[in-house]
Amino acid sequence: MTLTVETYGTLAEANAARRGDSRYLAGGTLVMRDLNYAVPGLSRVLRVSNPPRAIRQQGERLSMDAGVTMADVIESREAAFLAPVARSVGGPAVRNMATVGGNLFAAHPYGDFTAALLALDGEVQFVDGRTQPMEAFLAERDRAPLVASITMRMPRTGEFRFRKVARVKPKGVSVMSIAAWLPGAPMRVSQVRIAFGAMGPTPLRARAAEQVLEGKVLDASGIERALSVATQGLAPVDDALASAWYRNEVAPVHLRRLLLDEEPEP
């Protein structure tokens, strides 16, 4: 099949040129795989010559252009709290190409960075100027226009935690990832947000656990009820890495380690 590659000057122009047979190419770590496997119905690739790649602090929020790469995040001072998340995505070659925007669309079991954005009250800005909270976006991302940027809360020191559980370390694919924004930690926490990656078709919030943590101190007795409801609302599937049963069994164990801020296993 013939493949056409079209290069545009802006995301808005690329967005206007989208049709059913086309895919936007960002870092290409997933799109190139589809092209190599000749995924049916993909005959046009749209790209932008120099997509914006800025990271900006805006009061209590941080904004990132969709074209920011994992390597950009690791180098950024403003986004230092997200460096462990970016470092968990693939190996160095992948991180040099993989974008934040592409991660928003990555299918299970990928999407570790997006789990962090969900925990951090992320909001998506589309190229047409509309905005959408991360959770609503993830529920209908297949119909979304191109994403221009993402904003998120900037946590205070010690309020954001991330763990990735993988069989191959340090750069294996997720059995699950857990990101949590814990305002008030390690003392009484309030308005906690916990997001799991690879525990459903998209990253999902553990709302039941969030609710019972309200006003609790993050110690063994304070987190007990949250662990008992940790998997409510999650929808893991069986894959080559782990069964849904296994994921459900170990999720409270990993959530416990994160909430008690225990060192991740080497």
Asked if residues 52 and 24 have their Cβ atoms less than 8 Å apart, the reply is no
Q: Pick one of 55, 74, 110, 119: the residue that binds ligand FAD (CB under 6 A).
A: 110
3-state helix, strand, coil in the chain (%, to 5): 30, 25, 45
Distance of closest approach, residue 244 Cβ to ligand FAD, in angstroms: 19
Can you tell me whether residue 57 is helix, strand or coil?
strand
- What gap in Å lies between CA 225 and CA 40, rounded to an integer? 47
Q: Pick one of 173, 175, 192, 258: the residue that binds ligand FAD (CB under 6 A).
A: 173
Binding mask 88-107 for ligand FAD (x = CB under 6 A): -xx---x--xxx-xxx-xx-
Binding mask 147-166 for ligand FAD (x = CB under 6 A): x-------------------
Q: Pick one of 23, 108, 193, 216: the residue that binds ligand FAD (CB under 6 A).
A: 23
DSSP 59-115: TTEEEEETT-BHHHHHH-STTGGGHHHHHTSS-HHHHHH-BHHHHTTPPTT--HHHH
DSSP 173-227: PEEEEEEEE-TTTTSB--S-EEEEESSSSS-EE-HHHHHHTTT-BSSTTTTHHHH
Distance of closest approach, residue 100 Cβ to ligand FAD, in angstroms: 7
The C-alpha R_g of the chain, in whole angstroms, comes to 19
Does residue 203 bind ligand FAD (CB under 6 A)? no
| Window 58-77: residues binding ligand FAD (CB under 6 A) | 66
Does residue 213 bind ligand FAD (CB under 6 A)? no
Q: Which pair of structure tokens corresponds to residue 227? A: 């662990």
Does residue 30 bind ligand FAD (CB under 6 A)? yes
Q: Which pair of structure tokens corresponds to residue 118? A: 């969900």
Size of the site for ligand FAD (CB under 6 A): 28
Distance of closest approach, residue 36 Cβ to ligand FAD, in angstroms: 11
Distance of closest approach, residue 82 Cβ to ligand FAD, in angstroms: 13
Positions touching ligand FAD (CB under 6 A) are 23-31, 66, 89-90, 94, 97-99, 101-103, 105-106, 110-113, 146-147, 173
